[in-house]
């Protein structure tokens, strides 16, 4: 799948005074099975950008193409079937009572038979490595388990691309390591918005740096994440693994 943005601009009317959530003339392209990191300080516009791709917000100008479809109201069902979005807050994503039910939500809505649904759910559970959580109640899961279930809910629709908004937030080291492993095992196109630069380093080959609603830099992850001046000028720091520890 290809995702193409051309000269896209967007602003929230209500928050226009602060100007923090405005996107200006963004253009970029991702294709195939790339793994792209989207980094930037708080308020840079990362979440906004992701939401534009799935049609949760409508761009004021410019065009966005997801695969063969432009992002317009009439194509949204097709786009959303192929583009999975994982919310930052798992609790906004999980609303059924058991893991199975939540994973089955999307396939059922798209009209699949209960046999197909079963297969999809089993496959998604396997991909996320959580087959043992199949019949568990969601409210009993830990934060890390909920995050993996959130990802699995998207995988049950076998998307061609995944958009993840701050996936490693609130995960303990082991769960975070688990997450990185799973992300690396998935073949689909991935766009990961995150502050966790160390995770970006381990999962993404390409990185886009956003600041004040504009693309500052778009290139190989290793190059961008080793450029201290660039990062610090845009509200970030070097990844922790690259910083010297002062004793």
- Torsion sign, CA atoms 139, 177, 224, 188: negative
Residue 61 CB, shortest distance to other proteins, in Å, is 23
Candidates 19, 70, 77, 219; binder of other proteins (CB under 8 A) is: 77
The answer to the question of residue 105 lying near other proteins (CB under 8 A) is yes
Of the listed pieces 135-143, 183-191, 219-227, 236-244, which binds other proteins according to CB under 8 A?
A: 135-143
Residue 106 CB, shortest distance to other proteins, in Å, is 4
- Edge-first strand order for the sheet with 83-86 is 83-86, 161-165, 189-193, 35-39, 206-211, 214-220
Candidates 11, 35, 48, 93; binder of other proteins (CB under 8 A) is: 93
- How many residues at the interface with other proteins, by CB under 8 A? 29
What is the Rg, in whole angstroms, of the alpha carbon atoms belonging to the chain? 18
Q: Whose structure tokens read 């807050």? A: 89
The answer to the question of residue 115 lying near other proteins (CB under 8 A) is no
Q: Whose structure tokens read 């693994």? A: 241
Q: Which residues of 33-61 are buried (b: 16+ CB within 10 A; e: fewer)?
A: ebbbbbbbbebbbbbbbbbbbbbebebee
Residue 150 CB, shortest distance to other proteins, in Å, is 9
H helices of the chain, where? Answer: 46-53, 76-82, 90-93, 99-109, 114-127, 143-155, 173-185, 197-203, 221-224, 228-233
Residue 178 CB, shortest distance to other proteins, in Å, is 22
Contact mark string toward other proteins, 152..191, x via CB under 8 A: -x---x----------------------------------
Cα(36)–Cα(218) distance, rounded to whole angstroms? 10
The answer to the question of residue 27 lying near other proteins (CB under 8 A) is no
Residue 85 CB, shortest distance to other proteins, in Å, is 5
Residues lying near other proteins in the complex (CB under 8 A) are found at 51, 54, 56, 77, 80-81, 85, 87, 89, 91-93, 95-98, 101, 104-106, 108-110, 114, 137, 139-140, 153, 157
């Amino acid at each position: 799948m290809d995702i193409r943005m051309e000269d896209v601009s967007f602003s929230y009317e209500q928050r226009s005074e602060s100007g923090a959530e405005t996107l200006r003339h963004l253009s970029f392209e991702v294709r195939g099975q790339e793994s792209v990191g989207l980094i930037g300080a708080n308020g840079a516009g990362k979440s906004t950008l992701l939401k534009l791709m799935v049609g949760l917000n409508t761009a004021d100008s410019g065009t966005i193409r997801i695969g063969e479809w432009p992002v317009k109201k009439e194509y949204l069902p097709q786009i959303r079937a192929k583009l999975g979005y994982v919310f930052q807050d798992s609790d906004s994503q999980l609303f059924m009572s058991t893991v199975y039910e939540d994973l089955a939500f999307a396939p059922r809505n798209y009209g699949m038979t209960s046999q197909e649904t079963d297969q999809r759910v089993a496959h998604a559970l396997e991909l996320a490595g959580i087959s043992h959580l199949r019949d568990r109640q969601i409210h009993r899961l830990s934060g890390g388990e909920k995050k993996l279930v959130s990802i699995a809910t998207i995988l049950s629709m076998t998307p061609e691309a995944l958009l993840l908004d701050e996936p490693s937030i609130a995960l303990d080291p082991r769960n975070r390591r688990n997450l990185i492993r799973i992300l690396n095992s998935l073949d689909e196109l991935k766009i990961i918005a995150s502050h966790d630069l160390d995770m970006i380093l381990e999962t993404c080959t390409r990185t886009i740096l956003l600041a004040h609603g504009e693309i500052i830099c778009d290139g190989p992850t290793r190059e961008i994440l080793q450029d201290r001046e660039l990062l610090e000028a845009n509200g970030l720091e070097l990844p922790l693994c690259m910083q010297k520890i002062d004793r």
